[in-house]
């Protein structure tokens, strides 16, 4: 008798050679949709060309150009064209700059569907959990392997179950629901877990609402947020694929590592304070803070339901003087539907700027960026320092964002003043806090020793490690100079670091984006290893695949580290020793897979 399985375990089993899987198993999984975006795509091409590899199945292989759909950046334009030519030669499809966000395109085109698997260079590929599909963001090496083998290795995560009980409050938006969850669980309590959400009100959620909630699983540190498709979602996916689909569900007696029962009726409208998506509070605590700009879009909140709600609130009104409102639909189909329903005209008459579909400010490649000192209310999924510009970014629902744009300050949809706040001249209104270089294959030591950089911080994300303004850089020898230049207090790290140094941090290191550069910048500097309490799931994969040593230990504090101490690391036994102070602790030794990849100099 096979063991009862969770929803993710069911999906992974169906795509592996195994009859059942359990947490901790490392398995090869068949990938139904293998996708690279414009900034990651060029690196994928580099790997395949450099290693003279083939495409396993062109019908399942795609490029999606969504991070810079305007082609306004020269490096993006070069990378996009490189991908177009490669796809033309290899015979697979490109969803070019006129399509919109890649993960949404996969759903629209029926390439992702309930029970399917997909990997992309987008760290929000887990958005596909909204339709009961396994989506995972991965680095360019993983995607290159998926292109050429059709499979990737994957470690089955533990699953948790969240039951939302009680009645959903009126006008509690999907964005509010996920911000309440972020407030409850933070960025690392559920780090590395697969989350399944259930409840009577969950069953009623529309596809657009499910996408909003699933898209912020990355900000919770989760592998994915999964929801069992309801009848509406199944019908949508059936129409998109053009075929009958099987509903995949968890077994009733499936075992979960943890189960949480949360009272949905107690959820309130929320907003995330600048710097951390999980620093979410009741919006009433920040009402009346003056804003400079507002942004509606991103993979989280640029759907049709979002834009209809915005149009309903803004119709016949004007954006507050001095405030810039930017609206970016998620896909071109949604853009065209906005046009046919008259929404574009409503937005333009109100004074908003409407852009073509894409990722927008979240990816630094389109409209939505703000400048130093600028205060923005955004529907995006991230507000890490520097992610959407140099200013301050609050995260909220589309209704809150458009209401704030009309008011000139943060407010709710039901409290828009007759006369907006305006900026006064001369006063400070508001104070609110080309080719990838191939790794040389060397003899790989299993015992490392080096000088310590001790950075006692949690949740150091990939924008702090390697900012998104450098994403078009593909030459590894150019990457090192930008390491940590967006991490407060460590902007000069690259100038002071020495070859052989070891970086030690705390929880959730490398959360956020799927960018490989956040690993390769350390390699370029000659950093020997990074040691942490825990790592972001995608970052962990990228480091392992690049043969860059990362070590997990829950006893870092016991080493009594200070900058400059000498640290010894045994990769095989997991022994860590502060040589300077003669203190030893245990860490997790390299797994068989990690050791094999490390010893061969990388995934290839």
Q: Across all residues in the chain, what is the average pLDDT?
A: 92
Residue 281 β-bridge partners = 271
CA dist., res. 256 & res. 258, Å (int): 5
What CATH superfamily is the domain 447-599? Answer: Aconitase, domain 4 (3.20.19.10)
Tens-digit pLDDT profile for residues 115-166 = 999 999 988 999 999 999 999 999 999 999 999 999 999 999 999 999 999 9
Q: Pull the structure tokens for residue 53.
A: 């590899």
What CATH superfamily is the domain 270-407? Answer: Aconitase, domain 3 (3.30.499.10)
Q: 428 pLDDT exceeds 60? A: no
β-pairing verdict for 566-570 and 575-578: antiparallel
Q: How confident is the model at residue 435 (pLDDT cuts 50, 70, 90)?
A: very low
Picking from 79, 187, 93, the residue whose alpha carbon sits closest to that of residue 140 is 79
- All residues at 6 or more sequence positions from 37 whose CB lies less than 8 Å from its CB, including other chains: 63, 64, 65, 66, 67, 102, 120, 121, 122
CA-CA-CA-CA dihedral for 70, 74, 80, 84, to nearest 10: 110
Q: In the CATH scheme, what is the code of domain 7-266?
A: 3.30.499.10
CA dist., res. 153 & res. 140, Å (int): 14
Q: Pull the structure tokens for residue 87.
A: 């796809």
Tens-digit pLDDT profile for residues 337-393 = 999 999 999 999 999 999 998 887 776 656 777 888 899 999 988 887 777 778 899
Q: What are phi and psi of 454, to 5 degrees?
A: -100, 115
Q: 7-266 and 447-599: same fold? A: no
CA dist., res. 85 & res. 76, Å (int): 14
Q: What is the mean pLDDT of residues 488-513?
A: 95
CA dist., res. 371 & res. 215, Å (int): 26
Picking from 216, 121, 192, 223, the residue whose alpha carbon sits closest to that of residue 588 is 192
Parse the chain into domains and list their residue ranges. 7-266, 270-407, 447-599
As a whole-number percent, the residues of the chain with pLDDT over 90 amount to 82
Residue 331 β-bridge partners = 100
Picking from 222, 249, 253, 248, the residue whose alpha carbon sits closest to that of residue 159 is 222
CA dist., res. 39 & res. 102, Å (int): 12
Angle at which helices 207-214 and 174-185 cross, to 10°: 30
Residue 120 β-bridge partners = 137
Picking from 400, 403, 363, 354, the residue whose alpha carbon sits closest to that of residue 384 is 363
Tens-digit pLDDT profile for residues 204-244 = 999 999 999 999 999 999 999 999 999 999 999 999 999 99
At 457 the pLDDT is 95
At 363 the pLDDT is 65
């Amino acid at each position: 008798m096979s063991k009862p399985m969770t929803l993710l375990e069911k999906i992974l089993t169906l795509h592996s050679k195994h009859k059942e899987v359990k947490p901790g198993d490392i398995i090869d999984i068949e990938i139904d949709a293998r996708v690279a975006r414009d900034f990651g795509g060029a690196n994928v091409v580099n790997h395949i060309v450099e290693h003279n590899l083939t495409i396993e199945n062109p019908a399942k292989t795609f490029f999606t150009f969504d991070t810079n759909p305007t082609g306004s950046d020269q490096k993006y334009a070069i990378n996009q064209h490189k991908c177009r030519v490669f796809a033309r030669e290899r015979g697979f499809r490109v969803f070019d700059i006129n399509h919109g966000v890649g993960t949404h395109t996969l759903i629209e085109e029926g390439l992702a569907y309930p029970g399917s698997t997909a990997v992309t260079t987008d760290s929000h590929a887990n958005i596909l959990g909204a339709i009961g599909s396994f989506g995972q963001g991965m680095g360019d090496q993983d995607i290159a392997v998926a292109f050429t083998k059709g499979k990737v290795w994957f470690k089955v995560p533990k699953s948790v179950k969240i039951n939302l009980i009680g009645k959903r409050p009126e006008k509690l938006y999907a964005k509010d629901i996920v911000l309440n969850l972020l407030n409850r669980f933070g960025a690392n309590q559920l780090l590395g877990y697969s989350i399944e959400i259930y409840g009577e009100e969950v069953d009623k959620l529309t596809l657009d609402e499910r996408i909003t909630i699933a898209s912020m699983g990355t900000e919770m540190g989760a592998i994915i947020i999964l929801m069992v498709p309801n009848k509406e979602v199944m019908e949508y996916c059936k129409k998109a694929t053009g075929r009958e689909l099987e509903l995949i569900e968890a077994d009733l007696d499936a075992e979960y590592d943890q189960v949480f029962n949360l009272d949905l009726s107690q959820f309130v409208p929320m907003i995330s304070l600048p710097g951390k998506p999980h620093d979410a509070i009741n919006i009433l605590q920040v009402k009346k803070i003056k804003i400079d700009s507002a942004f509606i879009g991103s993979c989280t909140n640029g759907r049709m339901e979002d834009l209809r709600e915005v149009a309903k609130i803004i119709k016949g009104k004007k954006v507050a003087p001095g405030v810039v409102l930017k609206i970016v639909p998620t896909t071109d189909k949604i853009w065209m539907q906005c046009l046919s329903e008259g929404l574009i005209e409503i937005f333009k008459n109100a004074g908003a700027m409407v852009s073509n579909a894409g990722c927008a400010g979240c990816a630094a490649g389109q409209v939505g960026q703000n400048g130093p000192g600028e205060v923005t209310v955004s529907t995006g999924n991230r507000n890490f320092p520097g992610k959407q510009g140099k200013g301050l970014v609050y995260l909220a629902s589309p209704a809150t964002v458009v209401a704030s744009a009309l008011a000139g300050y943060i407010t709710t949809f039901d409290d828009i003043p007759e006369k907006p706040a305006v900026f006064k001249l001369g006063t400070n209104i508001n104070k609110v806090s080309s080719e990838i270089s191939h790794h040389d294959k060397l003899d790989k030591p299993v015992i490392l020793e080096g000088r310590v950089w001790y950075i006692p911080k949690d949740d150091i994300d990939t924008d702090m490690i390697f900012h998104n303004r450098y994403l078009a850089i593909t030459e590894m020898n150019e990457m090192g100079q930008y390491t940590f230049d967006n991490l407060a207090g460590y902007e000069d790290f690259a100038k002071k670091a020495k070859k052989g140094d070891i970086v030690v941090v705390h929880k959730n290191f490398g959360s956020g984006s799927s960018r490989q550069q956040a690993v390769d910048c350390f390699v370029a500097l000659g950093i020997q290893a990074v040691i942490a309490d825990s790592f972001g799931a995608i970052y962990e994969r990228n480091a392992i695949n690049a043969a860059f040593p990362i070590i997990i230990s829950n006893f870092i504090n016991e080493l009594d580290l200070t900058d400059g101490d000498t640290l010894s690391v045994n990769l095989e036994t997991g022994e860590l020793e502060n040589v300077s102070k003669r203190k030893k602790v245990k860490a997790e030794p390299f797994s068989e897979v990690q050791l094999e990849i490390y010893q061969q100099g990388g995934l290839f």
